[in-house]
Chain A
């Protein structure tokens, strides 16, 4: 079976006044139907831009300069506006970080859901309302038939995010790109939403790309993980393998900085330095200036090498024993 989503060599470039930068550079990965893939990286690593690139939602001065995004074998890069628009929401949907910013505060959630339905099919008012209620029930909003007339501010943060998820689910997409959907929520609500999203994906057969800077969150939902650094994919693989035996020094650094790993009372381990500006990336490996294992060869750019289920972009991968 071929993958649901096939991204290969995707490069998204921003030409700004300060200079030209590749927010996403040569990124390749696949997502199978019904699979949840985690996309991890720190702020500015290009994970959100990857999500927007897949949807064809890159605004100028940004532009996809090369690569391909195939959904069910159909090329999405280069499609015209109309075709991209009708693909969005119906085949690939997206959920954002802060539901109080994404939902329109002056429209009832029912009105917003109906706009999302009307974007793709002509339904009678009655059928549309029925669909809204059904999907709201699916995401666990109690008393959905009445709540449909409520405004976003009348919901709690967690409920608001459920509404946003419901809007993403409305047109039964095959893939949902979740851009940090739990980051803005309380920790207890986070866990709830995570569990429900996971079971939703399993029940509806919807695939997800789960974008987050939080390894712990990703590890609880995703079956595979992609690690990005400075716009490049540097490590990928089944989540358990990558967490147990990280091969890229950056992934190791991320894992070591998790609070769960440190001895209580000890300072957390940090990755020293900060991510370089994308406009002035060092030649070769982008992580090299911060890497404790860097050698002379790291001044040339490592290619993504794939062995089995795992991918890696590093000249000196950590040995299995390094755990």
Chain B
């Protein structure tokens, strides 16, 4: 197990290094931030001073090495636009995205897996067919459109829920959270629903396919022959057996939503990192882009690692193989 962890850490280090290189060169290739940073009518002198101040006069490799040097001290640089440390900027926005993502992915899983299992258990029933039809909808209708429809229906026409923003927040562990206040929850509901539809559809399909397959196995027949109830069979046997693909997709979806909840955050003006990255791209705020993309890579590595650990917890056969 320790060997496994060390191996993964080394892998993670290499991946992060490669990502930093790609991201840095990639961002370098996109436009010149100087044009955005200073007004077009600034004097040539001011222009050159600014360029030098941001180190933009150096060749690419030099800039990259400087960047790496600062990185070792956990310094991602300062935002060109907000003029504050990039990490502070990102972490001030991250909780908003984190709670939105968690609400969406958890909601989709907690609702999607049981419904999917039911659809797989009674595949020919009316309920199963309704669930499946709904899941096709979740798959095929674009997120932004559903977001607009949700706002139009619940915020504009019915006036039940707010159309955007985070609402009132409350502090926990020194961070502002919306889900701790009633007002925050009403603000969270629509964007979370919007984000979760696609994931819900995916969870339904995964759980249904897994359940259909497992229900035909001898494991289920044997449990039935022992007199176990259908509920026991579904909750204790089937759920455990279909858990691995579900955990995998949960992790991947969690990571990608955390990183790219852009569309939903924009529609609902949710002040999360998705909106931050879009703004930083349009203002060519290089340090923010680089730091953010590296953070995303780091999230994925961390999530994949957690998922691998979860595999071992879920499937004892993997545990022994790793130990040997």
Is B240 a contact partner of A102 (Cβ separation < 8 A)? no
| Distance of A89 Cα from B227 Cα, bound (Å) | 5
Chain B: interface size category: 20 to 34
Is A164 a contact partner of B222 (Cβ separation < 8 A)? yes
Which of A's residues lie within 8 Å of B, judged by CB? 55, 57, 85-90, 93-94, 96-98, 101-108, 115-116, 118-120, 151, 153-154, 164, 167-168, 170-171, 177
Q: Can you spell out 23 A-B residue pairs with CB atoms less than 8 angstroms apart? A: A57-B224, A88-B224, A88-B226, A89-B226, A101-B219, A102-B221, A102-B222, A104-B219, A105-B241, A105-B317, A106-B240, A106-B243, A107-B236, A107-B237, A108-B316, A115-B223, A115-B228, A118-B232, A119-B232, A120-B227, A153-B320, A167-B226, A168-B226
Least CB distance from A112 to B in Å reads: 8
| Distance of A101 Cα from B218 Cα, bound (Å) | 6
Is B222 a contact partner of A119 (Cβ separation < 8 A)? no
Is B227 a contact partner of A90 (Cβ separation < 8 A)? yes
Least CB distance from B217 to A in Å reads: 7
| Distance of A119 Cα from B221 Cα, bound (Å) | 15
Is B229 a contact partner of A153 (Cβ separation < 8 A)? no
Q: Which residue of B lies closest to A60 (CB)?
A: B124
Contact of B219 among A103, A119, A153 (CB under 8 A): A103
In the complex, B314 has a CB within 8 A of chain A? yes
Q: Which residue of A lies closest to B124 (CB)?
A: A60
Which residues on A sit within 8 Å (CB–CB) of B240? 104, 106-107
Q: Which residue of B lies closest to A107 (CB)?
A: B240
In the complex, B315 has a CB within 8 A of chain A? yes
| Distance of A102 Cα from B241 Cα, bound (Å) | 13
Least CB distance from A122 to B in Å reads: 14
Q: Which residue of B lies closest to A154 (CB)?
A: B320
Within 8 A of A (CB), among B233-265: 236-237, 240-241, 243
| Beyond known contacts A102-B222, A106-B241, A118-B232: 10 more, CB 8 A cutoff | A55-B225, A85-B224, A88-B226, A116-B226, A119-B226, A119-B227, A120-B227, A164-B222, A167-B222, A171-B227
Which residues on B sit within 8 Å (CB–CB) of A98? 218
Known contacts A98-B218, A119-B232, A154-B320, A105 near B315 by CB under 8 Å: yes
